[in-house]
Amino acid sequence: MMKDIEEIRSFRRSGKFMNIFSKFFSKHDFQTELDLPKSSPIIFAANHRSFFDVIIAWAFFSLSGVNCHCLIRADLFTKPLMGSWLRKNGCIATSRNTKEEAEIQAIEKLKAGYAVAIMPEGRLVPPADRPEGVGQGRPGISRIARATGATIVPVAITGSDLVWPLGKGFPVPRLKRPVIKVRFGAPFDLQSDDHINNANVIMQRIKSLLDSMTGPKHTS
């Protein structure tokens, strides 16, 4: 059974705020029914096209009653207000220099019964680097999953880069708000210790989910 994170009150308050804030710039098409594993730790693995992904994921988690420890780029933790806010919400700092420490923290959280959210590409991926929809996944997510027996739940986000394009310092308001979709894929377990191949498998699952997101819109 997935436990509420210790920072649950702050996490939920932040999610409610993100939901309100995001609606100034976008419409939402969120999956409303989730089928999550109950007998194993959970890693949510999402694609990353925009800074707005974090805002929209937080809004989605809040509305869905899901909470988790999110791996966030470490340099944001050095900013006075941002850093304290991220810590208050249970986020884990990660970068090339801190990846081992971040993986250890994520493993500890999963073993304690909490969920963890990771964007396996490890960076904002520009269109040129994702010709098939996703970029290259990094092996850290596989190391974390195999060390804990965690189940991977793929998450696909589309439309966020229309709201906050790469290279812009702030979301771009538009007269016609873009629709942002969020979908969960079928949970699955990694069977191999080939971490590079596992990362590729995860990204392919996310890609397949993105490819399937062409149906009718239900916006709010």
Per-residue pLDDT reduced to its tens digit, 48-85: 999 999 999 999 998 899 999 999 999 999 988 899 99
Mean pLDDT of the chain: 93
| Cβ–Cβ < 8 Å for 27, 180 | yes
Q: What is the pLDDT of residue 80?
A: 86
Please report, for residues 28, 44, 47, 140, 186, the alpha-carbon distance to residue 183 in angstroms, rounded to integers and kept in the order given.
11, 11, 11, 23, 10
Confidence of residue 215 (pLDDT cuts 50, 70, 90): low
**Residue 56 Rama label (left phi>0; alpha psi -120 to 50; beta):** alpha
Q: Is the pLDDT of residue 217 over 60?
A: no
Neighbouring residues of 170: CB distance < 8 A, sequence distance ≥ 6 = 164
Q: What integer is the mean pLDDT of 3-28?
A: 96
Reference 56, options 77, 26, 86, 84; nearest CA is 26
Q: Strand 179-184 relative to strand 151-158: parallel, antiparallel, unpaired?
A: antiparallel
Distance between CA atoms of residues 194 and 144, nearest Å: 12
Q: Is the pLDDT of residue 32 over 90?
A: no
Q: What is the pLDDT of residue 180?
A: 96
Q: What is the pLDDT of residue 220?
A: 59
Q: Is the pLDDT of residue 86 over 70?
A: yes
pLDDT in tens, 115-168: 999 999 999 999 999 999 999 999 999 999 999 999 999 999 999 999 999 888
Q: What is the pLDDT of residue 34?
A: 86
pLDDT in tens, 173-203: 899 999 999 999 999 999 999 999 999 999 9
Neighbouring residues of 91: CB distance < 8 A, sequence distance ≥ 6 = 69, 70, 71, 72, 77
Q: What is the pLDDT of residue 219?
A: 56
Q: What is the pLDDT of residue 118?
A: 97
| Cβ–Cβ < 8 Å for 133, 35 | no
- pTM score > 0.85 for this model? yes
92-94, strands of its sheet edge to edge? 27-30, 179-184, 151-158, 42-46, 116-118, 69-73, 92-94
3-state secondary structure of 32: coil
